[in-house]
């Protein structure tokens, strides 16, 4: 396994007496794109600014290639860190052309002209080198910012909400393109976002933060299918919890029937658990004894998200292919097809027949 390019060891950051980032441990491998993801105010930007050298740290250490950049008694200046930064608002120099912006950090290099041309071609702006930033679209400006940050060949690139000023399709396309560009050059990067789809599309590893603490640092696949905490389960993807009882380490009895998973839990057999259900864990089955009534539906194109109710009153969400066209009031046969059984020890005193909505988990998490 390759050695980490960036290490955050027990990192702590504070503003005055207020601890903002608490004991963060992250290792980013060479060539990987990492992400800090979490709700507003959880400490993502503070962490990124500490890595860049703009904020002091109050505990732990930040290492680049094994060398200390920050400790509570040391702060290497940002320009000496070999770290490039791309900001949300592009932060281009308005009085410099596109080519001059890109070449700004390498003005002493004899290779400057060639490098600028190469980078402009890489970000597909080779014909726009003589324009000024205000003559470009938002997406084009962010490409210039990316090329400028890459020009000095940094060991690590930091991207702070780089696509948040762009919308919809452009945002999706540019984020995929940026991933391709970084990967084609083997550049290690750390991105901050509160957009889960963006984190999943761009990054190899994602760290979910809550109140300055890392809940899980993992691949997007594992965050979705094997969330380590109820907070990650509820923050990542759609879903909700239903109450169940553990029959064995990998089997749980619920009012939807017995659900058998592919992973063993070290929890007391017979104990109450909360079972995570994603809308795509429920499939239609006309022959199933489990029946639910459609309450409402949201047409999403290829799929329809149904809200349904069991006879017991429990409400469920199910995502069906669009051709399964049910109307409110219809009775539908259901089956659970959850390969990835995700359970947590039961929280609070939830009515056995009531689902625990995700918002409640998030609220409980916040106030904890």
- Name, in order, each residue with C-beta under 8 angstroms of 41's C-beta and a sequence gap of 6 or more: none
C-beta closer to ligand ATP: residue 36 or 294: 36
C-beta closer to ligand ATP: residue 12 or 194: 194
Q: Per rule CB under 6 A, is residue 15 in the interface with ligand ATP?
A: yes
C-beta closer to ligand ATP: residue 160 or 274: 160
Name the strand (E) or helix (H) holding 55: none
| Residue from 12, 112, 179, 194 binding ligand ATP (CB under 6 A) | 194
Rounded to 5 degrees, what angle do the CA atoms 7, 8, 13 make? 155
Q: Per rule CB under 6 A, is residue 93 in the interface with ligand ATP?
A: no
As measured in angstroms, the least distance from the Cβ of 18 to ligand ATP is: 7
- Residue 176 tokens read as 């995929």
C-beta closer to ligand ATP: residue 131 or 194: 194
Q: Per rule CB under 6 A, is residue 20 in the interface with ligand ATP?
A: yes
Q: Per rule CB under 6 A, is residue 54 in the interface with ligand ATP?
A: no
- Residue 198, helix vs strand vs coil: helix
Torsion angle defined by CA atoms of residues 297, 299, 303 and 307, in that order, rounded to the nearest 10 degrees = -10
- Residue 304, helix vs strand vs coil: strand
As measured in angstroms, the least distance from the Cβ of 217 to ligand ATP is: 16
Residue of 192, 180, 348, 199 whose CA lies nearest to 273:
348
Dihedrals φ, ψ of 150, to 5°?
A: -80, -20
| Residue from 22, 24, 46, 189 binding ligand ATP (CB under 6 A) | 46
- Residue 332, helix vs strand vs coil: strand
- Residue 284 tokens read as 């239609």
As measured in angstroms, the least distance from the Cβ of 214 to ligand ATP is: 12
Q: Per rule CB under 6 A, is residue 41 in the interface with ligand ATP?
A: yes
As measured in angstroms, the least distance from the Cβ of 158 to ligand ATP is: 13
Rounded to 5 degrees, what angle do the CA atoms 208, 213, 214 make? 40
| Residue from 32, 44, 254, 278 binding ligand ATP (CB under 6 A) | 44
Binding site for ligand ATP (CB under 6 A): 15, 20, 38, 40-46, 194
């Amino acid at each position: 396994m390759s050695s980490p390019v960036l290490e955050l060891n027990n990192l702590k950051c504070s503003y005055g007496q207020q601890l903002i980032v608490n004991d963060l441990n992250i290792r980013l491998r060479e060539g990987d794109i990492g992400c800090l993801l979490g709700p507003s105010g959880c400490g993502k930007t503070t962490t990124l600014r500490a890595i860049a050298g703009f904020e002091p740290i109050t505990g732990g250490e930040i290492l680049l290639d094994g060398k200390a950049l920050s400790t509570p008694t040391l702060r290497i200046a940002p320009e000496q860190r070999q770290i490039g930064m791309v900001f949300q608002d592009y932060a281009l120099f308005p009085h410099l052309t596109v080519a001059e912006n890109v070449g700004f950090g390498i003005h002493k290099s004899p290779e400057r002209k060639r490098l600028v041309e190469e980078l402009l071609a890489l970000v597909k702006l080779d014909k726009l080198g003589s324009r000024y930033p205000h003559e470009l679209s938002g997406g084009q400006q962010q490409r210039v910012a990316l090329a400028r940050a890459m020009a000095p060949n940094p060991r690590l690139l930091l991207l702070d909400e780089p696509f948040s000023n762009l919308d919809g399709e452009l945002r999706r396309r540019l984020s995929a393109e940026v991933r391709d560009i970084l990967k084609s050059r083997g550049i290690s990067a750390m991105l901050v976002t509160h957009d889960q789809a963006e984190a999943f599309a761009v990054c190899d590893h994602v760290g979910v933060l809550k109140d300055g603490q890392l809940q899980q640092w993992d691949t997007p696949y594992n965050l979705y299918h094997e969330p380590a905490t109820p907070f990650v389960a509820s923050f990542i993807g759609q879903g909700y919890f239903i109450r169940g009882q553990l029959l064995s380490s990998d089997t749980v009895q619920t009012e939807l029937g017995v659900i058998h998973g592919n992973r063993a839990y070290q929890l007391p057999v017979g104990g109450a658990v909360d079972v995570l259900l994603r809308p795509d864990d429920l499939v239609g089955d006309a022959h199933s004894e489990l029946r639910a009534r459609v309450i409402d539906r949201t047409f999403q194109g290829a799929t329809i998200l149904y809200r349904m109710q069991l006879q017991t009153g429990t409400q469920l969400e199910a995502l069906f292919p669009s051709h399964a066209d049910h109307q409110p009031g219809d009775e539908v046969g259901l089956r659970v097809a959850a390969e990835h059984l995700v359970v947590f020890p039961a929280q609070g005193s939830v009515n056995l027949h009531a689902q625990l909505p995700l918002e409640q988990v998030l609220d409980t998490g916040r106030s904890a």
